[in-house]
Structure 1
Amino acid sequence: MKRIIFITIQILFINCYSQKNESITLKSKTEIENYVRVSSKRFAKFELKKIHDFAPEGDAQDSICRRIGDSLKINEYYYKADFDNNGLVDFLLIGDDHNCDESRSIRCNFCSLVLMSFPKDSVKIHNINLGDGCFVPKIAQKNNQTVLQIYNRRRGVLSAKGNNVEQHTLIYKYDGFIDYNKRPVKHSIEKIEFSTSGCYGTCPVFSLVIDKERNSTFFAERFNFGTEEENMKKMSSFFNNNREGTFKTVITEENYNQILALLEYMNFANFQNKNMLYEEDSGSSILKITYDNGKEKIIEDYGIVGSYSLRKLYELLFELRMNQKWN
């Protein structure tokens, strides 16, 4: 059940937790740990930890993590940068979230976070991990922009040797870290359709349809409203096909344009048609984009974290359920 809760929260709000009226003048390991723990329930046990301090314990995952960290000379608890060029110091944190489901054999507690600093002492915490496992970050420069290079084990490749490491370059855009793309392609978006399926817990099940005039219909099936605890208590009634309702609205221009800008930047037409996160209890989603006079792009995503850009897009679509005035 912890794994379900992690995936659901990760898609929704972990990536953009906001804490206002706090200063990010952090000068020690203890200050940083305490700040993260107080700011987010998800990281209430977060501990800064050097990559080399993660004991291999005989499995391939930890061995790969240490090998990547050593090769990149990532040997500190945290690093400072300015990912959005706003003149304020951002923090890249490396550590252990102590949030692993101990009943599973796969380790899942290596964690990389970024604390983004904004004016008026506003701070947001971004989770850099894309699912479970070891995602080793390195600060780099690309076209006069500070970016993150992420190195991780290829999904489905368990060997500690050979060509089992992949690399992503992330840029801070649209209030999140997404895949860097130097050649965005503009499309005429005609319709966006997004639906999710259930999991072994209380993952939200719903579908959204948005046309080019921003008209939208929200089909709420189950677990879209209420807290985790409330939904757990109502689980039996949800599975008796008691739908939560159908709602309509016109998506605000600001939210709609943000989604369109992200789709344009990420070159959605070139994405894989199917993505798999190797988690047996994950939810899944289907994204269908109709564009350029009737062309269609369908992306099926088991795990709902197919890539960094897709994860951000899903987050924006999930948030529409709560940040619009539905009738």
Structure 2
Amino acid sequence: MKYLLLFLIFSSFIVSALANGIDNLKTDNDVLKFMLKTDTNFSYKGEPQITVVPTDTLFKLLKCNDVARQWSIKSWEKTDFNQDGKTDLLVMLKMSVGFYVYAVIDKGDNTFKMLPMNQGHTGDNCEMAKPIMINKQQLLLFYSKMLRMHRDKDELTVDTGPRIDTLILKHGNFVEYNPKPDNYQISYFTIEAKGCYGDCPVYKLQVSADGKATYEAYAYNEVEGNFKGAVSVDKLNRIKSLINYIQIRKLRDDYRVAWTDDVKAILKVGFKNGTVKEITDYGMIGTHGLSQLYNLIDELRTSEKWVKVK
């Protein structure tokens, strides 16, 4: 009996040592403290700017509470988004203007990556998420009700209905799930950020299939001027892989948000067969996959070595 008791105590210690900060969360207040500790931006002068409300209260406050009840939305849930054996967290945070959806990914060594999921201005919209399993893969069902627009043959169309996306954690963020990625041979890709009324970076960056790149930094960049460089193989392959995963040929040529004073991006992807896919995206949230593609290309401005061209 003595040895059994010692074994149980030792086993409990091992489990506790292996558990991450998310495993230990039991209450709404636990989750609130964890979020405040993980991201200090959730506090201002020592005062929390977020709350984690009970699920019953969440149902009462959400504008789309009918869908929330149908989906059995919870204020927070534990899951394993990348199926690496570590516990991740999905949480609805209440702020002054509404609810925001966050996924918190365990990176190991008790460090976490915070992924904001909202795409619109929450005060006027409703966005929420629910973990689901499909074909033994952990996915995320994402509901978004917000005004979206697109232009087709010079005619502007307003999309007022909700959008439901099935997402997967891939290439560092959530993108639309695609069980059969494409295998296009890509010859180059270019992004041109047109800026906004504020201090948004204005630039053009083009990368060829072999990684050779040019970077034209016009305004509000860390450095300005014309540069050339080479993108590392791993980053280049990651971007090419994402382009193929998001089925870029099937996406619209034009996306735009319903508000003003935002960034307009022009994305071009050239293929070995001579064709080009061009997407204009005002607001840069046409799809989850496009948003992540913009992020990966944008990161090249500071992650790679650039040589100024005289």
Same fold (TM over 0.5): yes
3-state SS of 1:285 partner: strand
Aligned mates of 1:222, 1:209 — CA distance in 2: 17
From 195, 200, 204, the counterpart of 1:198: 195
Aligned mates of 2:59, 2:108 — CA distance in 1: 39
Tell me the amino acid that sits aligned with residue 51 of structure 2: E
Aligned mates of 1:300, 1:91 — CA distance in 2: 33
1:144 and 2:144 matched: no
Tell me the amino acid that sits aligned with residue 229 of structure 2: T
Q: How far 1:55 sits from its partner (Å)?
A: 8.9
Aligned mates of 2:95, 2:198 — CA distance in 1: 21
Conserved 8 A contact 1:189-1:292: yes
User: Which residue pairs with 1:222 in the alignment?
Assistant: 219
Q: How far 1:285 sits from its partner (Å)?
A: 0.3
User: Which residue pairs with 1:178 in the alignment?
Assistant: 175
Whose Rg is larger? 2
Conserved 8 A contact 1:81-1:92: yes
Tell me the amino acid that sits aligned with residue 259 of structure 1: I
1:253 and 2:233 matched: yes
- Structure 1 residues 5-154: aligned runs within 5 Å: 23-24=21-22, 25-40=24-39, 42-44=41-43, 45-50=49-54, 53=57, 63=63, 65-74=64-73, 76-98=74-96, 100=97, 109-132=98-121, 133-154=125-146
User: Which residue pairs with 2:292 in the alignment?
Assistant: 312
Q: How far 1:322 sits from its partner (Å)?
A: 1.1
3-state SS of 1:282 partner: coil
Structure 2 unpaired stretches of 5+: 1-19, 44-48, 150-159
CA 1:321–1:51: 2 relative to 1, 3 Å: farther
Q: How far 1:170 sits from its partner (Å)?
A: 0.4
3-state SS of 1:171 partner: strand
CA 1:39–1:204: 2 relative to 1, 3 Å: farther
Once the two structures are superposed, residues 134-157 of structure 1 have per-residue CA deviations (whole angstroms, 9 ceiling, x without a partner) of 211111111100111011215359
Aligned mates of 1:52, 1:280 — CA distance in 2: 35
Q: How far 1:275 sits from its partner (Å)?
A: 0.5
Which structure is higher in strand share? 2
From 241, 245, 257, the counterpart of 1:265: 245
Aligned mates of 2:50, 2:192 — CA distance in 1: 33
* TM norm structure 2: 0.80
3-state SS of 1:48 partner: coil
* TM norm structure 1: 0.76
Conserved 8 A contact 2:59-2:68: no
User: Which residue pairs with 1:295 in the alignment?
Assistant: 275
How high is the sequence identity, in percent, across the aligned residues? 26
Q: How far 1:165 sits from its partner (Å)?
A: 2.5
Structure 1 unpaired stretches of 5+: 1-21, 101-108, 158-162, 226-242
* Between 132-141 and 263-272, the greater mean CA deviation after superposition: 132-141
Tell me the amino acid that sits aligned with residue 67 of structure 2: I
Conserved 8 A contact 1:135-1:151: yes
Conserved 8 A contact 2:51-2:94: yes
Conserved 8 A contact 2:120-2:146: no
Conserved 8 A contact 1:134-1:152: yes
3-state SS of 1:141 partner: strand
User: Which residue pairs with 2:4 in the alignment?
Assistant: none
Aligned pairs, number: 269
Aligned mates of 1:248, 1:50 — CA distance in 2: 53
Give the aligned CA root-mean-square deviation in angstroms: 2.2
CA 1:286–1:146: 2 relative to 1, 3 Å: same
User: Which residue pairs with 2:164 in the alignment?
Assistant: 167
User: Which residue pairs with 1:274 in the alignment?
Assistant: 254
Q: How far 1:117 sits from its partner (Å)?
A: 1.0
Aligned mates of 2:148, 2:60 — CA distance in 1: 19
CA 1:36–1:145: 2 relative to 1, 3 Å: same
Once the two structures are superposed, residues 151-184 of structure 1 have per-residue CA deviations (whole angstroms, 9 ceiling, x without a partner) of 1215359xxxxx9322100001111111001221
User: Which residue pairs with 1:18 in the alignment?
Assistant: none
The one of the two structures with greater contact order (alpha-carbon pairs below 8 A, sep at least 6) is: 1
Q: How far 1:77 sits from its partner (Å)?
A: 1.8
Q: How far 1:314 sits from its partner (Å)?
A: 0.7
Aligned mates of 2:68, 2:141 — CA distance in 1: 12
CA 1:50–1:168: 2 relative to 1, 3 Å: farther
Aligned mates of 1:254, 1:29 — CA distance in 2: 40
Q: How far 1:207 sits from its partner (Å)?
A: 0.9
